[in-house]
Amino acid sequence: MDRRQFLTLSPNRQKRPAAVAGRTSSGLAPFTGPWTELEIIHLLKRTLFGVSPATFNAFKNMSMQQALDTLLTPQANPQPPVNNYGIDDTGVAPGAVWVTAPMGNEMLERKRIASYKAWWTGQMINQQHSIHEKMVLFWHNHFVTETSMVNDSRFIYQYNLTLRQHALGNFKDLTKAITLDPAMLVYLNGYLNSKGAADENYARELHELFTVGKGPDSHYTEDDVRATARVLTGYRVDRTTITSRFDTTQHDIGNKEFSSFYQNKVISGKTGPDGMTELDDLLKIIFAQPEVAKFICRKLYRFFVYYDIDAATEENVITPLADIFRSSEYDIKVTLNALFSSEHFFDPLNMACLIKSPADFCIGMCREYNIKFPSNYTDLYNGWSFIHGSAAGMLQNFGDPPLVAGWDAYYQEPAFHELWINTDTLPKRNKLSDALISNNGVNGLRIDVLAYASSLPNPADPVALIHDALNLLYRVGVSDNLKAFLKNTILLSGQSPDSNYYWTQAWNAYVASPNNATLKENVEIRLQALFKYIMNLSEYQLA
């Protein structure tokens, strides 16, 4: 897929000269350009999973700031997952919540983890008009845990709640909460960290992957890792209360010295319960380092804007955004608002420049077509599980990133998001969209093309129908030749190009008699062919 070729196809795109020193010269200054359909859908596509006609209609009359205020409003915690797996030896009845039940045997834990993954997929599918769900996924990719290694479904669920609680809050608070989270304590061996035998696993990742990163200006040392591990000695997990606790007898009470990168700070060792306050001292030292803000802002940028951060972007976007992050005391919401309201975010070169992740593809397709899921909880979870399995087959298994560094597409240079597409995953994407749009659907799920067309402003007009659908489903303009093909060959079935009435009459006849099988089939087969063709083109893979 040649994105630059895509850009040249769009007649609506604003042309802007790129900076001499970078891909684009735009920066973090507030966006003052036209607030049109193009900009609204771009914002929604990047912050939500898919954009349905109903979602667009909800935002189309808002100002940019009103839209951002809506998108940056946190969601309430959802209802917890339930027993959709049947027999539960701990006494959890079918349909009942399992998240506070006793830990089960290995087989039961596998079933509960599958239930959790289905449930989480369902939360993304049922996302409100808020970025909250996407931020939970973002932080999951940042503060990685793997269900297969934690292997306690209750801890895994609590970890998800930790991410939810802080997803749009304060990053420093989130870092502390994750440090003490039972799932993380198990995943990176924190619960084994003891005086005299400090485990450096979490300490290393706290610096390298979670806070200051590995950038050219990040110079933490091995001594910093060792000192951090000593600070974190004594934390344990309680599988009865499903919480973490502090064992004062296993805490290293000696002083901990840090390198010049951290201004040679010293944390005085504390005894008894006061030993827990050393974590606050540690975070104060780490978060005083400007690299924390820069590292997180780069990750936000790659997730929401574009993977390539050149010198111009580092200077014009990352540095001032990091300044906002630090001056706001690491307020995530304030920082996202600055990024999403910037001229850089709405720069035409930053539109349609990301390949959809499996989450964006699978969850987004469910949401943009408003696919109906069963109301019965067993069938509902089966549907959610099917979508989860589809995304996992495309390399994004929610709950189990491949490594502690997260999914390759968010950090592996130089390919980054191009890693989502290969000879195995692209056919799987096409196979899923083809199956969902077929007459019988798949796994009880189906794209209702008649309902989708009816939700557009003027489905009786073939030109308007194609225009409105492409505006929502694509992020790049397409040629007039393609539009003509979609209209003349698919909707008009080869009729004269001027015979728009052929489709108009067919649609109006169906609307007048929706229970007439012949009239319904006449328009449905053409709409299925239309949207199948649209989703099979490479443009549908771009966000």
Q: What is the pLDDT of residues 277-315, one digit of tens each?
A: 999 999 999 999 999 999 999 999 999 999 999 999 999
C-alpha–C-alpha distance, residues 459 and 396, integer Å:
35
Residue 512 lies in a domain: yes
Q: Taking phi first (over 0 means left), then psi (-120 to 50 degrees means alpha), and beta for anything else, what does residue 181 get?
A: beta
Return all residues near 247 (Cβ < 8 A) that are at least 6 apart: 234, 235, 236
> What pLDDT shows up at residue 23?
85
Query: What is the 3 state secondary structure string of 336-376?
Result: HHHHHCECCCCCHHHCCCCECCHHHHHHHHHHHCCCCCCCC
How confident is the chain (543 residues) per 10-residue block, as mean pLDDT?
Answer: 38 37 88 97 98 98 98 97 97 98 97 98 98 98 97 98 98 98 98 96 98 95 98 98 98 98 98 98 98 98 96 97 98 98 97 97 98 97 98 98 97 95 97 97 97 98 97 94 94 75 93 97 97 97 96
- Calculate the alpha carbon distances from 361 to 49, 178, 284, 388 in Å: 8, 29, 39, 11
- 395: helix, strand or coil: coil
Residue 340 lies in a domain: no
C-alpha–C-alpha distance, residues 508 and 62, integer Å:
32
How many structural domains does the chain have? Answer: 1
> What pLDDT shows up at residue 225?
98
Which residues constitute the domain of residue 481?
A: 458-541
> What pLDDT shows up at residue 494?
79
> What pLDDT shows up at residue 342?
98
> What pLDDT shows up at residue 497?
58
Residue 77 lies in a domain: no
Residue 514 lies in a domain: yes
- Cis check: omega of the bond before 17, within 30 degrees of 0: no
Structure tokens at 137: 């996924």
> Is the alpha carbon torsion for 366, 368, 370, 375 positive or negative?
positive
C-alpha–C-alpha distance, residues 316 and 338, integer Å:
13
For the whole model, what pTM was predicted?
Answer: 0.94
- 302: helix, strand or coil: helix
Residue 351, amino acid: M
Residue 238 lies in a domain: no
Alpha helices in 51-105 (DSSP H): 53-59, 64-71
C-alpha–C-alpha distance, residues 489 and 529, integer Å:
10
Residue 510 lies in a domain: yes
Return all residues near 301 (Cβ < 8 A) that are at least 6 apart: 309, 313, 317, 318, 321, 339
Residue 270 lies in a domain: no
Residue 475 lies in a domain: yes
> What pLDDT shows up at residue 4?
37
